[in-house]
Structure 1
């Protein structure tokens, strides 16, 4: 029996005719050309960020509808690029606005908003009202409006974080992203640090590391805040991968904290670690071992004069000799802050008014105070927002402690870890006020938002597990 072999002819994939392949290829080419023209036009009209926005916004819209927690993670991962300017805004501000709209608009359409629990929501709402009332009498309407918009953005971000992060797993993912972002943001400071030169016994040091920030104290606060978060998350982690991640980011953050030579940030870091030991008892032994190891390594490096350790030691010992620095105007600034508070004790002088009000009184003081803030968290709030704003801020602190207690009762240590990181801001705020920088301010509010979300998720999970409704 003879079998005749049929000639093999290649005509493409099964069911696809050559003419159809040509049409598909032509349509793809046409679509690519049109997409290129649209992106090029966007670049010409909107600048280099126009094409990026056209590509990113649809992806953000899809993520916001299907997985809104990923939008929050995306904003957190933008922090290392937060100093990039996009039109009139910095990238971190634009990202905050986009994330707030992307998360809250679909949630509103589904009637699924989630506001922070009332111990936090009440003081936040009160502070927003006080800021609006204080702005009416501000000496500079433009400065007040700019700071009011910035305040509105971070408040909306807090609501967006609370709305998007519903489960402990989602909160943990966002916190890990924050720790990673801190490590990435530290790289420019480590790689770009140069030689330093000390004056007035370490009271003034030139060549301090700044990284992506406008000045070293902002880098110091950012590094101290996320260092405590990295240490807390690493010590309470249940997986080796997470511990290694926190160790790597924590090491970079510790390095940038040292290179910033910010004494206020060092004070804040110590206060944050002490708070971590108080709020998270299971971390105490590991903190003691870690602290002893760091002190031993520092002593060895100091003995051999390795790296910038000499500048760090000189800067640290200058705390006891601050009066030797003729450029340290803090006592004069604080005196002026108290006087300004007495002039408007209820609602203050308005957002951003300290600089203008203090400089206008230069003749009475016998000096010209060219400063943007009161170099003190509580004094600055009192001057610009009065006793009403100060009470709202203190109420927020109490509300956060209430949420930490709820989280511990639900079996979660993450709210306590984030609360310890927040202590850094308060402690640093006793000697400085580097919260005018949008990147620093956004990072602080991300930590607060994650604290609220962590407590709410832990409480909800505990209630569901016990059969209760929430």
Structure 2
């Protein structure tokens, strides 16, 4: 009697096997190209070209351009709106780099989903994020432009002694925005898997956390520090329910400030930075962004054109200088890509949160990965909290692809927790172990015959 072979165990044609092997090498090449493009923006088109080659190879290897995730619909609409943004932009030379960066981030999202298909690789992805945060923090000592940087609770000459050795300086608020995303991610496994981590790994993670936190405080970014604080409180609440009281007290303090009419003082303090005088200036930018959304609701104005369109159609009166973005994440997405782009962005973010939450709930037997998933959830809180007052995590700066890397890690965690993935084809639970068992039996039988 004939027996049918399970779909995931059927032999694969030789050319598909060669495509799968090539895809593995292309993954490393693409990640390297993305990393180099963060340092040198002129290599961004090369990274996009490698990304296109990666997707074509994925199609040959698995019959799909990308693996399946819950965020696919939102990502597709975002990609289409980005291309439309480039087509309608009055400043294509400004729009093209941001569109390229957005598309590269999307390919990076799917590359991580396909590559990190088992716990060991997910652990490497986590360590990669920690190493990235540590490199950013240490690099800040020689790359951040500390000039005219007003310190509000540290000695005024503290950062003046730090050398700037790079020609392309980094704004302290940009550095703070990305450190705020990586801080809770680094802290996740420390809180959830302290006893199961080796002493050396615990020490390394603690040192990385201290370095990142120190640099974040040195940036004096109100939005960055607030985002990191809220995200860490959320992470503590995920670990110990009684810590939810801290979130409640924080929310209560906010309500009390509104009730006693002190909210404007708090917002003015949080909204001030070197280029913006205070909350009133930020409000002016938000109103300009709102008017742009009303006037260009379907297509947006085109990525990267905020400063030029503001000067031409919506002049500023309170801001001392021209502003490159709306200083609000969701407003900036809607300004760049229109209301459809904002809906797609929120849908993608919501799908990422759902995948991270489901992974966290399913990985109860893996405290290390559960802590990773919890850190990713807290990172999304940091993203939205920081996005109230800034938009540097969207597309106008080179490290913006990091957000897509975080989202890809969340999707990979969910797929592994649900049973694994390879090329968009969901594998049954323990199927990878079944394949390994079959290979082991084959090797044993060959040895016994010999």
TM-score normalised by L of structure 2? 0.70
> Counterpart in 2 of 1:426?
384
Paired residue secondary structure (2:326): coil
Q: How many angstroms apart in 2 are the aligned matches of 1:334 and 1:392? A: 21
Paired residue secondary structure (2:350): helix
Is 2:289 the counterpart of 1:337?
yes
Q: How many angstroms apart in 2 are the aligned matches of 1:398 and 1:194? A: 35
Sort the Cα spacing of 1:372 and 1:147 in 2 relative to 1 into closer, same or farther, 3 A.
same
Is this contact kept in 2: 1:72–1:164, CA < 8 A? no
Is this contact kept in 1: 2:277–2:319, CA < 8 A? no
Q: How many residues align?
A: 373
Q: How many angstroms apart in 1 are the aligned matches of 2:56 and 2:297? A: 38
Compare 374-383 and 192-201 and name the one that shifted more.
192-201
| Shift, 1:169, TM fit | 1.5
> Counterpart in 2 of 1:464?
429
Is 2:62 the counterpart of 1:111?
yes
Residue 249 (structure 1) aligned to one of 196, 201, 208: 208
Is this contact kept in 2: 1:63–1:71, CA < 8 A? no
| Shift, 1:247, TM fit | 1.0
Sort the Cα spacing of 1:118 and 1:193 in 2 relative to 1 into closer, same or farther, 3 A.
closer
Q: Map 1:315-354 to 2 at 5 A.
A: 319=269, 322=272, 327-328=277-278, 329-354=281-306
Alignment deviations for residues 61-111 of structure 1 (CA, whole Å, 9 cap, x no partner): 9996485598289649x85x765337x226xx756764x367545433322
Compare 104-113 and 460-469 and name the one that shifted more.
460-469
Residue 216 (structure 1) aligned to one of 162, 166, 172: 172
> Counterpart in 2 of 1:267?
226
> Counterpart in 1 of 2:331?
379
Q: How many angstroms apart in 1 are the aligned matches of 2:102 and 2:116? A: 21
Is this contact kept in 1: 2:231–2:382, CA < 8 A? yes
Q: Map 1:99-178 to 2 at 5 A.
A: 100=51, 104=55, 106-111=57-62, 115-178=66-129
Paired residue secondary structure (2:310): helix
Is 2:19 the counterpart of 1:71?
no
> Counterpart in 2 of 1:4?
none
Sort the Cα spacing of 1:253 and 1:112 in 2 relative to 1 into closer, same or farther, 3 A.
farther
| Shift, 1:268, TM fit | 1.1
Q: How many angstroms apart in 1 are the aligned matches of 2:59 and 2:19? A: 16
> Counterpart in 1 of 2:412?
453
Q: How many angstroms apart in 1 are the aligned matches of 2:148 and 2:99? A: 39
Sort the Cα spacing of 1:368 and 1:177 in 2 relative to 1 into closer, same or farther, 3 A.
closer
| Shift, 1:239, TM fit | 1.7
Q: How many angstroms apart in 2 are the aligned matches of 1:263 and 1:211? A: 25
Paired residue secondary structure (1:346): coil
Paired residue secondary structure (1:136): helix
Q: How many angstroms apart in 2 are the aligned matches of 1:454 and 1:382? A: 29
Alignment deviations for residues 176-233 of structure 1 (CA, whole Å, 9 cap, x no partner): 122022112321324678988776978xx89587897521111111211111111112
Sort the Cα spacing of 1:196 and 1:106 in 2 relative to 1 into closer, same or farther, 3 A.
closer
| Shift, 1:234, TM fit | 2.2
| Shift, 1:402, TM fit | 2.0
> Counterpart in 2 of 1:85?
40
| Shift, 1:422, TM fit | 2.4
Is 2:360 the counterpart of 1:408?
yes
Residue 181 (structure 2) aligned to one of 225, 229, 232: 225
| Shift, 1:397, TM fit | 2.0
Residue 313 (structure 2) aligned to one of 361, 379, 382: 361
| Shift, 1:360, TM fit | 1.0
Give unmatched runs, 5+ long, in structure 2.
Answer: 1-17, 247-265, 364-368, 421-426, 435-450
| Shift, 1:385, TM fit | 1.4
| Shift, 1:113, TM fit | 5.2
Residue 396 (structure 1) aligned to one of 325, 342, 348: 348
Query: Which of these two proteins has the greater Rg computed from alpha carbons?
Result: 1
Sort the Cα spacing of 1:246 and 1:337 in 2 relative to 1 into closer, same or farther, 3 A.
same
| Shift, 1:170, TM fit | 0.7
Is 2:197 the counterpart of 1:239?
yes
Is this contact kept in 2: 1:182–1:226, CA < 8 A? yes
| Shift, 1:253, TM fit | 0.7
TM-score normalised by L of structure 1? 0.67
